[in-house]
Structure 1
Amino acid sequence: MIARHFISLAALLAATPVLADTPLTLSETEQAAPALPRILAPRERASLENRILAERLDTIIPQIMREEGIDLWLLVAREYFEEPVVATMLDAENMHARRRTILVFHDPGEGKPVERLTVSRYGLGGLFAPTWDPDKQPDQWQAVADLIAARDPAKIAINSSDLYQFADGMTLSQYDKFMQALPPAMHDRIVSGENLAIRWLETRTPSEMELYPTVVRLAHSVIGEAFSRKVITPGVTTASQVQWWYRDRLMALGLDPWFHPSVAIQRQGAKGMIEGDEVILPGDLLWTDFGITYLRLNTDTQHLAYVLKPGETEAPAGLRAGLANSNKVQNFLTRAFKVGISGNDALAQARKDAIAAGLDPSIYTHPIGHHGHGAGPSIGFWDNQKADPRGSGPIRANTAWSIELTSYAAVPEWGGQRVDFRTEEDAFFDGTTVRYIDGRQTEITLIPSD
């Protein structure tokens, strides 16, 4: 039985279509059922992830520290309790912090390189220079205090923030130990590293953006399979079965979801979204929300599909118009992006323009990158279409976004029923223009019923 199991798994993997290493680029056009790009083996992934991490440390850290006026940035993590920033600074072979991992960035000024140090029992992939010898100084916190005192920084940033979870990594116990060891005369030099944490996480480098189209294409390809007769047999398949097909498919491909996929049905005469063990029928409008993590980058996509009734060759005109309305809201939102304005300002402008055009929008767009719901200012929430403290931060160049929103419309073919046309596509803002990373859905996917 064991042998048969391995043969079955091997057959599944062998059946996976692959492409050559053809680099993809940012595109405004989304393919309806794209082929699956080649997925790298673990060693290839690790090599690529380490190279990009080194580039990020070399380029982003000096820029943000100098622009924010920070002389020293202290990061503390513990094994299996990595704070969000440290987790993105671990090399591919160090999957977790070891015991207590302390990272220090120090800018000596005068154009000298930023020091990258680790006050830890173990090294860290050659990216941070080890500075602690426990045989000479058994107290790790005292070793940190001595290192800082020797460099005499004017501003010492620690990750503490009430607003952003990404910048709140310093726990109370570690803060207390640190402050006990730090000379009292330096206590008033402690400042929040909130902006450093957000900017480190939200900034996308050219190397990452060379990879991102392939990462998003992988997600689009899997969605294309899910919304097809390969997976869905109308009158038989349930919404929950498609959800779990996603999970099985990703496991076979060696990919990870960052949330459990969603699949739901909107149906003429039925109220709202129908989920769970409901059987998919001809005439249904299907919705999915699906995201993967690959090469330390995340995707977040929502697509729509229509199950054709016998004799139909396209979705009803009212459904097609509904998706077109959501595409218009996308256009209003992406045109509102400007460097330096807040997420709240972009939300207000996009809603004003969409409503003036006769649309009924709800916008809940968020940054994406190292995390699915990434660091940076939010642009609306599904339950709050007004200004929010989490949307008060500035929109910056070289950031990636999940353009997530919906518009509501009455569908004549469904007796004027109000339908929710949710859409979500990943995009990149270069400081001037928002471009989709692998296109966006402009036509409802069709699933034959016979």
Structure 2
Amino acid sequence: MQRINFPHKYGGRSDQMSQREHAEDTIWWSIKSATEFAAHRRTVVLFHTNSSSLAGRPNPLLWIDNTGNVWPELRQVLESYAPERIMVNTDRDIAFAGGLHVGEMDILKEELGGRWTSRFVNVPMLAVEFVSKRVPGQMKYFEKMQETIWAMLEEAFSERVVVPGKTTTEDLQWWFREKMQEQNVSTWNQPRVKVLDPSSFPGWSGSDSIVQEGDVLHVDFGISAMSMHTDTQHLGYVLRVSQGERNVPESLLVGLKKANRMQDIVLEELQVGRTGNEVLAACNRRLEEEDIEGQIYSHPINDFAHGPGATIGFTNLPDFVPIYGELPILPGTYYSIELFARHFVPERNESLRFMLEENVFWKNDTKGWHFVRGRQERFHIVDMNRAQSHRDGADAVFIIQQR
């Protein structure tokens, strides 16, 4: 287990977790050893700031028990440490600070008695800060995960995989799943592929479409490895090669550029110490000033892909987010910059939402936020003019049609 020193600003003396196998406290997944896959029996964890009583004992103290012997030992430790406050995860609004099950609270009250349970306090930011904070050594692995997902995206939205008139969006979803298996990674967010149209939002599922020339493709998914997660949305375009088209239509490029400009604005306004709602309000003002129609719904990404920390908009809450939007932006964290720009496409006589999502990290106080790998500034292109250089025949490219 990791050793944690609580910041003095919390004024806390101890933090207690009690959970049973298959009913873990939410924060257990962020403090456990990498070789532990669950809480065994009843697992009780006590972090403390004590520096005198029982000197030399580990921090945290850990009990794994199914006999009830944990309780007299825990009472003895509390007598020795005499904490003024005991923090427990009982927050009603923030999931990462509210993982103590009702049954565990009942038995804590019964076994510890009023003397100690009267000192229970709820300090949700303790859990939020702990889970949000990134360890510097993680970045080199997170970069490799980003490189992996970009390679998947570039291959999937290309003539190596897509055959217009044959490949379906469901085929592409299964291609991503099979590719993740090949790369020995899992997913928290199943791949959702769709052909964009004016109704494609928020897009909790993919479309059921046969990919055709002239289609704009969109994917939203994330991979998971080493207790880290990505969250990415990219766009692809299928050239109308039967009509001699060689490039992505200019109006689509303008729409993508608008979404890139929105990303710039979010990173400029994503200032440490501001609340998520303050960032959102500042971004919305600038979008109005620059006459950009769009919406921002960005979130922290850490031990959980939709992680604890300040949320900047929701798809259904474009102006103000209760609870999570009132949390502060923290340094040393990762964010997923998720948004769309709406742009009218004359060739289609319709407006499309250009939905993008990229992951960023906090570098330091002077250098601020940076994209982990970069951001999409050009469409992934399906160009059947290049197909002959990749294959001997169409059936060899369409590798999943006959699964």
> What TM-score comes out, normalization by structure 2 length?
0.88
Gap change, CA 1:363 and 1:404, over 3 Å in 2: same
Equivalent residues of 1:203, 1:399 under 8 A apart: yes
Among 332, 342, 354, the alignment partner of 1:398 is 332
The CA deviation at 1:431 is 5.0
Inter-partner Cα distance in structure 2 for 1:65 and 1:181: 29
- Which amino acid counterpart does residue 366 of structure 1 have in structure 2? H
Inter-partner Cα distance in structure 1 for 2:316 and 2:207: 23
Is 1:86–2:17 an aligned residue pair? no
Gap change, CA 1:431 and 1:223, over 3 Å in 2: same
Inter-partner Cα distance in structure 1 for 2:216 and 2:161: 16
Inter-partner Cα distance in structure 1 for 2:121 and 2:200: 48
The CA deviation at 1:271 is 5.0
Greater mean alpha carbon deviation, residues 156-165 or residues 69-78 = 69-78
Among 238, 249, 252, the alignment partner of 1:319 is 252
Equivalent residues of 1:78, 1:101 under 8 A apart: yes
Inter-partner Cα distance in structure 2 for 1:331 and 1:354: 11
Aligned to 1:293: 224
The CA deviation at 1:215 is 1.6
Inter-partner Cα distance in structure 2 for 1:354 and 1:109: 52
Aligned to 1:222: 152
Q: After superposition, where does 1:150-161 map in structure 2 within 5 Å?
A: 150-161=80-91
Report the secondary structure of 2:87's partner residue.
strand
Equivalent residues of 2:194, 2:208 under 8 A apart: no
Residues 242-296 of structure 1: CA deviation (Å, up to 9, x unaligned): 01111111122211011211101025xx754794431000100000001011111
Aligned to 2:179: 249
The CA deviation at 1:211 is 2.1
Moved over 6 A (4+): none
Aligned to 2:44: 102
Inter-partner Cα distance in structure 2 for 1:394 and 1:68: 16
Identity, in percent, stands at 28
Report the secondary structure of 1:182's partner residue.
helix
Residues 89-132 of structure 1: CA deviation (Å, up to 9, x unaligned): 2223221111111111111158x99821102149xxxxxxxxxx
Aligned to 2:377: 442
Equivalent residues of 1:339, 1:431 under 8 A apart: no
Aligned to 1:43: none
Aligned to 1:412: 346
The CA deviation at 1:350 is 0.8
Equivalent residues of 1:75, 1:159 under 8 A apart: yes
Is 1:116–2:60 an aligned residue pair? yes
Inter-partner Cα distance in structure 1 for 2:172 and 2:130: 36
Among 308, 324, 345, the alignment partner of 1:375 is 308
Q: Which runs of 5+ in 2 are unaligned?
A: 386-403
Q: After superposition, where does 1:120-199 map in structure 2 within 5 Å?
A: 120-121=64-65, 138-199=68-129
Report the secondary structure of 1:235's partner residue.
coil
Inter-partner Cα distance in structure 2 for 1:349 and 1:82: 38
Inter-partner Cα distance in structure 2 for 1:83 and 1:204: 20
The CA deviation at 1:444 is 1.1
Inter-partner Cα distance in structure 1 for 2:45 and 2:308: 20
Inter-partner Cα distance in structure 2 for 1:334 and 1:272: 25
Two-structure CA RMSD over aligned residues (Å):
2.0
Inter-partner Cα distance in structure 2 for 1:217 and 1:82: 33
- Which amino acid counterpart does residue 304 of structure 1 have in structure 2? L
Among 222, 233, 239, the alignment partner of 1:302 is 233
Equivalent residues of 1:202, 1:375 under 8 A apart: yes
Paired residues in the alignment total 374
Aligned to 2:272: 339
Inter-partner Cα distance in structure 2 for 1:187 and 1:374: 29
Report the secondary structure of 1:115's partner residue.
coil
Residues 389-415 of structure 1: CA deviation (Å, up to 9, x unaligned): 221001110010000001101012222
> What TM-score comes out, normalization by structure 1 length?
0.79
Report the secondary structure of 1:378's partner residue.
coil
Equivalent residues of 1:338, 1:431 under 8 A apart: no
- Which amino acid counterpart does residue 331 of structure 1 have in structure 2? D
Residues 56-108 of structure 1: CA deviation (Å, up to 9, x unaligned): x34xx31x443322210111222122222112222232211111111111111
Report the secondary structure of 2:189's partner residue.
coil
Equivalent residues of 2:108, 2:117 under 8 A apart: no
Inter-partner Cα distance in structure 2 for 1:238 and 1:312: 22
Report the secondary structure of 2:27's partner residue.
helix
Inter-partner Cα distance in structure 1 for 2:125 and 2:306: 17
The CA deviation at 1:163 is 1.2
